[in-house]
Amino acid sequence: MTLMKMAVSSVTTIIKAIISNISELFIIVYETICQIVGFFRGLSTIPTPSIFYLASAIESPIRVLYLKVVNKTDFPEAGFELLRICIANDPSIQEAGVFKIWFGYYPVVCVIRPEQAEVLFRSPHLPKAWFYKYVTITPTGVGIVSANGDIWKSHRKLLAPGFNYKVVEKSVPVINRLVREGCLTTMTNYVREHGDRYVIDNVSPLLESTLFDISFETSTGLSSSGRKDGHPLYQQAMHAFCEYLVVVGELLAYPWARVRPFSWLLPLGWKYKHLIHEVLTPFIDSVYEERREYLEKMAGNNGEIKPETFLDIVINASSSKNPNEATKMSQDDVREEIFEFIGAGFETLTTTLIWALLLLGHHPEVQERMVKEVQTVVGDTEDITFENVRDLKYVEAVAKEVLRLYPPAPGLGRGADADIELPLGGGPSRTSCIIPKWATVFFWLLFIHRSPYHWSNPDAFDPERFLLVTKDDNGQLQRHHPYSWIPFLAGPRKCVGQRFAMTVMVCFLGLFVRRFQLKTIIPMKDIKKTPQGGTYRTVGAIPLQVSLRWQC
pLDDT by 10s per residue, the chain, length 552: 455 655 555 555 555 555 555 555 555 565 566 656 655 655 567 777 655 544 544 444 444 444 444 444 444 555 666 677 777 777 788 888 888 877 656 678 889 999 999 999 988 888 888 778 778 888 777 788 888 878 888 888 888 888 888 889 999 999 999 999 999 999 999 888 887 777 888 888 889 999 999 999 999 998 888 776 667 888 899 989 888 888 887 777 666 666 666 666 777 788 888 898 899 999 999 999 999 888 888 776 556 667 788 898 888 888 767 666 666 788 888 899 899 888 888 888 999 999 999 999 999 999 999 999 999 999 988 899 999 999 999 999 999 999 999 998 888 888 888 888 888 887 665 688 888 888 889 999 989 999 988 899 999 999 999 997 655 555 555 668 889 999 998 877 788 889 999 999 999 999 999 999 999 888 888 887 777 667 788 877 788 899 998 654
Task: Count the Cβ atoms, other than its own, within 10 Å of residue 431.
Answer: 10
pLDDT at 411: 85
In this structure, is residue 107 part of a structural domain?
A: yes
Q: 112 with 451: CB under 8 angstroms?
A: yes
User: Cα(148)–Cα(533) distance, rounded to whole angstroms?
Assistant: 21
Task: Count the Cβ atoms, other than its own, within 10 Å of residue 254.
Answer: 16
In this structure, is residue 98 part of a structural domain?
A: yes
Q: 143 with 133: CB under 8 angstroms?
A: no
Which H or E run includes 425?
Answer: none
pLDDT at 5: 54
1 class by beta-carbon count within 10 Å (0-12 exposed, 13-18 middle, 19+ buried): exposed
Residue (of 550, 548, 546, 551) closest to 201 by Cα position: 546
pLDDT at 302: 57
CATH number at residue 79: 3.30.43.20
Task: Tell me how many domains the chain contains.
Answer: 1
In this structure, is residue 49 part of a structural domain?
A: yes
pLDDT at 69: 45
Q: 102 with 57: CB under 8 angstroms?
A: yes
Bridge-based pairing state of the strands 106-111 and 440-444: parallel
Residue 100 structural domain: 21-126+412-460
DSSP state of 5: H
In this structure, is residue 35 part of a structural domain?
A: yes
265 three-state secondary structure: coil
DSSP state of 380: T
Q: 121 with 491: CB under 8 angstroms?
A: yes
pLDDT at 67: 43
115 class by beta-carbon count within 10 Å (0-12 exposed, 13-18 middle, 19+ buried): buried
User: What's the pTM value of the predicted model, to 2 decimals?
Assistant: 0.86
pLDDT at 57: 44
In this structure, is residue 443 part of a structural domain?
A: yes
